[in-house]
Chains A and B, each alone.
Chain A
Amino acid sequence: MSRDAVLSAVNLTRHYQIKGGPFSKPATVKALNEATFELYPGQTLAVVGESGCGKSTLARVLTMIEPPTSGKLTISGHEVSLKEGQRPPAALRREVQIIFQNPYGSLNPRKTVATMLEEPLKLNRKEMSAAERRQAALDMIAKVGLRPEHADRYPHMFSGGQRQRIAIARALMLNPKILVLDEPVSALDLSIQAQVLNLLADLQDEFGLAYVFISHDLSVVRRIADDVIVMYFGQPVETGPAEEVFTTPRHPYTQALFSATPVADPNRRRERVHLKGEPPSPLAPPPGCPFAPRCHLATEACTQADPPLDSVNDRVKVACIHVDQAVAKYARAG
């Protein structure tokens, strides 16, 4: 890419300390482990994985709600150095905004839509007058496909899709460069999902936004993502351009994940890659590759060391020592 990355993460790690009770030792949960990626303006980076794989932790670190335990986070060329409990500098905070999964919890039930949209301006654009703020809020309401008379209503008067539009409007009030979308459509009806996704695509074109799209819905990801990160147990196991990862999944976990997605083709027969067991407990990580206990290709060597994310070609990186075997087997099954 010739353009400069708007966000880059190098070995981003977030650990949580679990306080020990009188009968248990304190423990460390590695919620996010060594995530490295770059994000470019106008691009969508999708983060996929099952529940508890660290997707939401990544969102919290990227939006500077929580500082990373280690690793480097650079936003718009500025390195973020945040201490525990510290508030990010205003200039950086404006660059990144977040959309939450649950549109019923993300809007203040006591405030009207206009008040909510004006709040970021009130706090960050002190020079704007009340009338200008109101106008800006009304403009944004129109932009996300709501009507002006919605401005003075309370959140409970809206449907889930409309609420998500309001949340998007609020996030865009400060003209951020990056939008972290934490499962933005998974709480919505299927028909509404498409509308909201289209709105997001339109806004991305209009403002040149970079999206970090966190999801477990692979059909949605396939449609909108430019790049994909597949996460398992807090660490990326496969990264690369969406098209390539979707056509040739290389990591056994990615293969299992993709083969679990239903395909609307009754004639298609495919041997599904079944996963055994549950994800390991984060308090007692297995030795070596965290996926080894559930992997059908696992060998003795897998439990010896955690495989690093290695380049398969100049676009795709995979963290598996049996990549070739996995690809071959997947091709035969397909």
Chain B
Amino acid sequence: MAAISTPAAPGTFRYQLASFWSDFSASRGALVGLIFIVLILLVALFAPWVAPHDPAMQDRSALLVPPVWHAEGSWDYLLGTDAVGRDILSRLIYGARYSLSISAMVVIISMGAGIFLGLLAGYFRGWIETVITRVMDVVLAFPSLLLALGLVAILSPGLTSAMIAIAMVQLPYFVRLTRAAVIGEKNREYVIASRLSGAGHLRLMFNTLLPNCMAPLIVQATLSFSTAILDIAALGFLGMGVQPPTPEWGAMLANAREFMGSAYWAVTFPGLIILLTVLMINLMGDGLRDALDPKMKRS
């Protein structure tokens, strides 16, 4: 069916992988997204070797140097420097480490907890559902940044508390999506059939229902990945998240805001890299959803 170059036996893991890959790579957008993400990951991993400068090094003789293609630009600083003379390219490269790992953690925490709570609420209904959805409504009722600020203030400022706070802010979206999907699937005949053949609550929730509810969750995960980058940046800007001089993309963006008129590059490049990363993750998420959904498969 799917495997063209690798004629593996059906049912094996290798066959599934091959069929997954042929579906995933059929979408050009997903492939571009994947390549971009892999590149960014590699750059982040090998930052000390890739980056031309120390991200925290301040060159007092080169404040706000424009990028290399300007007349005043210098080959020393390919993408220019910021207000205190730090190389923007190096900071972006090192920043990839922070931004990506923080966002990944946020998404993992909020998605894991959200799926669990949403499954509980949608599967058992009754008072469990009422309690969970009411608490989530309360979380949603707060302005997200205010809530995150409050949580960080309680948990003491720092990277870990910022991650937990932002995961908490993202939680309701996962809970609601999961709950809605579970309620829609729960009374389908295949779930009843599985129950009649003896499946217990846990098996029904995680083995039968969850895989059929994943499509919207994967898309939501890629969306909240981008929101997490921006939220972490906002917390950093308010002094509650990443502490300077850590080169985090959002913090770079926030710090350079006042030079937007005079030195566009200090704002543009962090903004651009956030935009690109978010876009590519979304593209990849779309492809992932299509490849994981057997209904979209061409047989």
Contacts and interface: CB of A to CB of B under 8 A. Distances in A.
Interface string A64-102: 010000000000000000000000001001101110101
Nearest to B191: A108
Nearest to A64: B196
A328 interface: no
Nearest to A156: B295
B12 to A, nearest CB: 10
Q: By CB atoms of chain A within 10 A, which of B193, B211, B295 has the most?
A: B193
A156 B299 CA distance: 9
B10 A170 contact: no
B14 interface: no
A120 B196 CA distance: 9
A234 B197 CA distance: 28
Nearest to A115: B11
A119 B294 contact: no
Contact of B190 (A107, A124, A156): A107
B189 A100 contact: yes
Interface in B187-218: 188-190, 192-199, 203, 208, 211-212
Contacts of B211: 110
A173 B193 CA distance: 12
Interface in A151-200: 151-154, 156-157, 167, 170-171, 173-174
Nearest to B195: A65
Interface in A101-118: 102, 105-110, 112, 114
A276 B194 CA distance: 42
Given A152-B11, A153-B299, A157-B299, A108 B197 contact: no
Contacts of A65: 192, 195-196
A331 interface: no
A105 B212 CA distance: 12
Contact of B194 (A63, A94, A108): A108
A154 B19 CA distance: 13
A124 B211 CA distance: 22
> By CB atoms of chain B within 10 A, which of A93, A102, A105, A112 has the most?
A105
A1 interface: no
B194 A119 contact: yes
A108 B198 contact: no
Interface string B257-299: 0000000000000000000000000000000000000110101
Nearest to A107: B190
A170 B198 contact: no
A70 B87 CA distance: 79
Nearest to B10: A152
Contacts of A151: 10-11
A123 interface: yes
Nearest to A119: B197
B145 to A, nearest CB: 38
Given A124-B198, A157-B299, A170 B193 contact: yes
Contacts of A98: 192-193, 196
B196 A106 contact: no
Nearest to B193: A106
Contacts of B198: 90, 93-94, 120, 123-124
A120 B295 contact: no
B294 A156 contact: yes
Contacts of B190: 105-109
Contacts of B295: 109, 154, 156
A112 B294 CA distance: 10
A124 B297 contact: no
Contact of A93 (B11, B192, B196, B294): B196
Contacts of B193: 98, 100, 106, 167, 170-171
Contacts of B212: 108-110
B16 to A, nearest CB: 10
A167 to B, nearest CB: 8
Given A108-B194, A153-B299, A156-B295, A123 B189 contact: no
Contacts of B196: 63, 65, 93, 96-98
A180 to B, nearest CB: 10
Contact of B189 (A93, A105, A156): A105
A123 B193 CA distance: 13
A144 to B, nearest CB: 15
B247 to A, nearest CB: 42
Nearest to B211: A110
Given A108-B212, A110-B212, A157-B299, A102 B197 contact: no
A54 B211 CA distance: 33
Interface in A124-155: 124, 149, 151-154
8 contacts: A98-B193, A108-B190, A124-B197, A151-B10, A152-B10, A153-B299, A154-B295, A167-B193
> Can you list the 10 inter-chain pairs with the closest CB atoms, starting with the nearest?
A120-B197, A106-B189, A152-B10, A123-B198, A100-B189, A154-B294, A110-B211, A108-B190, A105-B189, A157-B299
